Copies of this chain bind each other. A is one copy, B any other.
Amino acid sequence: MATSLRELLSGVTTLADVNSRSTPGFDGDKKDARDAMAQLGEELADLQERLWANGTRDDPRTVLLVLQGMDTSGKGGTIRHAAGLVDPQGLRITSFKKPTPEELEHDFLWRIEKALPPPGKIGIFDRSQYEDVLICRVRELAAAEEIERRYDAINDFEQAYVEAGGTMIKCLLHITADNQKERLTARLDDPTKHWKYNPGDVDERALWDDYQQAYDLALARCSTEPAPWFVVPSGRKWYRNWAVATLLLEHLRALGLTWPAADFDVDAEKARVAAS
């Protein structure tokens, strides 16, 4: 692939311009994607272990994968398939739900900051700080000026995270209202999927256009140089999984991770072990 996926998937400001079933950067079908995942999984696991190894030696670097998207866009499935390629010990996964009363007493970024990954770990956010400018905007859960303030607050927060050694990969899993309808119908048709279905999802679905506008605003206001947005066409699950795994891989590669050098005398230790 001549162009990186990072370049191919960034720069979007209008979701309606993106075909949810397109597969930018990938020539092939579902079967090819499965093979590609298995292959990149090895490199991903190796790089994750290097990140972790350096974290044990006071290297402050971390990686944070932020997943946003409408219901059924596949945030959970992406975590299972893409993040599932690396050692689970190297992950810190946080799923952000409706804020608790305690969380609501604090600034909206309070719970987000508490969930940042420690050195050497890959953090994963299933929903994120963006809920506070998405559902909060659409459902008018905060005053208009407060929502307005949050875009800048998010940009400041993300810049500070990156300056402290973080790499943030923000993925918007893009589906259409028709994709969602198919998936909700499939859930209802399969009794083993009923537990995933929430009647409230249909209420949110009625506000589809408002959400798309709120997403477009988040893309326009919060695609910054230190933390750009990537719009991942997610109408095909296998492409979505491959694309997020590939974005993770490209960002890890860019860190140029080497193995930490020994902080002890290797020959002396060999002699000690041999004599033990």
Contact code string A166-193 (vs B, CB < 8 Å = 1, else 0):
0000000000000001001100110110
A84 within 8 A of B: yes
Say which one of A86-94, A101-109, A151-159, A229-237 lies at the interface with B: A86-94
Nearest CB of chain B from residue A276's CB, rounded to whole Å = 5
B53–A76 CB distance below 8 A: no
Say which one of A12-20, A199-207, A238-246 lies at the interface with B: A199-207
A197 within 8 A of B: yes
Query: CA A229 – CA B95 in complex, angstroms?
Result: 33
User: This chain: how many copies in the complex?
Assistant: 2
A189: chain B residues within 8 A (beta carbon): 270
Query: CA A126 – CA B88 in complex, angstroms?
Result: 13
B91–A276 CB distance below 8 A: no
Contact code string A45-58 (vs B, CB < 8 Å = 1, else 0):
00000000100110
B84–A191 CB distance below 8 A: no
| CB-based nearest B residue for A202 | B272
Say which one of A22-30, A128-136, A209-217, A256-264 lies at the interface with B: A256-264
A83: chain B residues within 8 A (beta carbon): 88
Count of interface residues, chain A, beta-carbon cutoff 8 Å: 42
A184-B273, A185-B270 as given contacts; A194 in contact with B89, CB under 8 Å: no
Query: CA A95 – CA B88 in complex, angstroms?
Result: 12
A35 within 8 A of B: no
A262–B191 CB distance below 8 A: yes
Which of B84, B191, B276 is within 8 Å of A205, CB to CB? Answer: B276
Which of B84, B191, B270 is within 8 Å of A188, CB to CB? Answer: B270
B262–A197 CB distance below 8 A: yes
Nearest CB of chain B from residue A50's CB, rounded to whole Å = 9
A76: chain B residues within 8 A (beta carbon): 89
B79–A269 CB distance below 8 A: no
A88: chain B residues within 8 A (beta carbon): 79-80, 83-84, 88, 91, 93
Contact code string A105-145 (vs B, CB < 8 Å = 1, else 0):
00000000000000000000010000000000000000000
Contacts A/B (CB < 8 Å), 21 sampled: A53-B196, A76-B89, A79-B89, A80-B88, A80-B89, A83-B88, A84-B88, A89-B126, A181-B273, A181-B276, A185-B270, A185-B273, A185-B274, A188-B269, A188-B273, A191-B261, A192-B259, A195-B259, A195-B262, A197-B269, A202-B269
Question: Closest 5 interchain pairs by CB?
Answer: A194-B262, A88-B88, A53-B195, A80-B87, A195-B260
